[in-house]
Amino acid sequence: MRLELQKWYTRTIGIFFVLVVITLINDYLKFGHRPETWHKVFHVLLGVIILYYGWSNKNFWKPFCLANGAFFTYIAIFGFVFPDFGGLDAFNRLDTLLHGIVGLSGLSIGLIYKN
């Protein structure tokens, strides 16, 4: 069951990150190139990498949960400490909350499975 949680966390994050391409396109058509464009490109590229390497790779799931969880927890903490940092959407209230959910759930799921 715990391994299943890691698998589904990895797959879900990969899918959602790839779907950020929709907001990337809409944002680019509305505002053109801006720093937020790179935030969204990061999510899309990370999503593609996750789906390519992690969809069926059991050895990918736990390290991904821990690394992704730690990274996005850090980003969420940064966003709470420095709200709207640099005017970037990555640190607005909603994105900070989403980063926190992604980060803390990844850490939790990664830590409950002991090899």
Per-residue pLDDT, 20: 96
Cα–Cα distance between 20 and 77 in angstroms, integer?
Answer: 22
Across the 115 residues of the chain, what is the mean pLDDT of every consecutive 10-residue run? 88 97 96 91 96 95 97 97 90 95 97 76
Write the CB contacts of 28 (distance below 8 Å, at least 6 apart in sequence).
37
Taking the C-alpha atoms of residue 55 and residue 53, their distance in angstroms, rounded to an integer, is: 6
Maximum separation of any 2 CA atoms in the chain, in Å: 47
CA distance 32 to 111: 41
Report pLDDT for 74.
Answer: 97
Residue 2 C-alpha from the chain's centroid? 20
Instruction: Give the tens place of pLDDT for each residue, 11-36.
Output: 999 999 999 999 999 999 999 999 88
Q: What is the pLDDT of residue 1?
A: 66
Hunting for tokens 């050895």 — which residue is that?
59
Do 79 and 99 touch, CB atoms closer than 8 A?
A: yes
